[in-house]
């Protein structure tokens, strides 16, 4: 999804106000219930959160110049891939084998037949992470287009690719 992220497309805004930060935290908890216990680690108190607008429909939230969360134009929020790596268990996991990895790393969406293991149930619309079998770290974050139960016997797109390892959004984690 994010092959390039030119600096001129990042429009820096002022520090996020506390009431908007509370809204962001509540939205994150609503979409990712497991984040509730660590939300104050991701967004430490008294640390300013800077908002970067990317084009018209995307907001990037950064703490100490490190992006930690993204908000889509639809209002959906998801953690940066680096955030998901740093906080294992934050998102429901989908496991794939090596055959699917190359296509996914080129930005393809995850097709239902490519799913090998789903240890925990999730609903359509959930933010999920995609891991290689026998690997604890995600290489992709996406939005489920069908529930885990539907994906077991379905065909078609199961997970819409939001960000992958080494795309422009991931590389922005090195600092803005």
Q: Quick check: is 17 in a domain?
A: yes
What's the pLDDT at 5? 53
Q: What is the pTM of this model?
A: 0.86
- The total domain count for the chain is 2
In terms of domains, do 72 and 126 share one?
Answer: no
In a domain, 1, yes or no: no
Query: What is the phi/psi pair of residue 168, to 5°?
Result: -65, -35
* 8 Å CB contact between 117 and 133: yes
| Residue 11 placed within a domain | yes
Question: Which one of 35, 55, 85 terminates a domain?
Answer: 85
Same domain, 104 and 140: yes
If asked whether residues 81 and 11 sit together in one domain, one would say yes
Among residues 85, 102, 137, the one where a domain terminates is 85
Residues 115 and 74 in one domain: no
108 part of a folded domain: yes
Per-residue pLDDT tens for 60-91?
999 988 899 999 888 889 999 999 999 988 99
Beta-ladder partners of 138: 131
The answer to whether residues 138 and 114 belong to one domain is yes
Pairing of strands 49-54, 58-63: antiparallel
For residue 31, give its domain range. 7-85
Say if 45 falls within a structural domain. yes
pLDDT at position 10 = 61
Nearest residue to 65 via CA among 47, 81, 84, 85: 47
Residues 72 and 32 in one domain: yes
pLDDT in tens, the chain (176 residues): 555 555 555 666 779 999 999 999 999 999 888 899 999 999 999 999 999 887 777 899 999 888 999 998 888 899 999 999 999 889 999 999 999 999 999 999 999 999 999 999 999 999 999 999 989 899 999 999 999 999 988 899 999 999 998 887 777 666 65
**Has residue 151 been placed in a domain?**
yes
Phi, psi of 139, deg, nearest 5: -120, -5
> Is 42 domain-assigned?
yes
| Integer Cα distance of 79 and 144 in angstroms | 15
Q: Examine residue 117 and state whether it is found in any structural domain, yes or no.
A: yes
91, 80: one domain: no
Q: Do residue 19 and residue 78 come from a single domain?
A: yes
CATH code for the domain in which residue 57 is found: 3.10.400.20
- Are 54 and 115 within one domain? no
């Amino acid at each position: 999804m994010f092959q390039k992220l030119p600096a001129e497309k990042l429009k820096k805004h002022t520090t996020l106000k506390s009431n908007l930060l509370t809204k962001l935290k509540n939205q994150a908890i609503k979409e990712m219930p497991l984040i509730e216990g660590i939300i104050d680690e991701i967004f430490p108190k008294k640390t300013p959160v800077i908002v970067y607008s990317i084009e018209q429909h995307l907001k990037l939230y950064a703490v100490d110049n490190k992006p930690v969360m993204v908000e889509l134009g639809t209002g959906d929020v998801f953690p940066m891939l680096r955030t998901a790596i740093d906080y294992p268990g934050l998102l429901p996991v989908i496991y794939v084998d090596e055959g699917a990895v190359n296509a996914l790393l080129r930005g393809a969406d995850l097709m239902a037949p490519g799913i090998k293991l789903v240890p925990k149930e999730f609903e359509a619309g959930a933010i999920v992470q995609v891991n290689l079998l026998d690997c604890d770290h995600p290489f992709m974050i996406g939005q489920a287009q069908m529930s885990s139960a539907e994906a077991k016997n379905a065909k078609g797109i199961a997970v819409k690719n939001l960000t992958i390892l080494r795309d422009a959004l991931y590389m922005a984690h090195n600092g803005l």
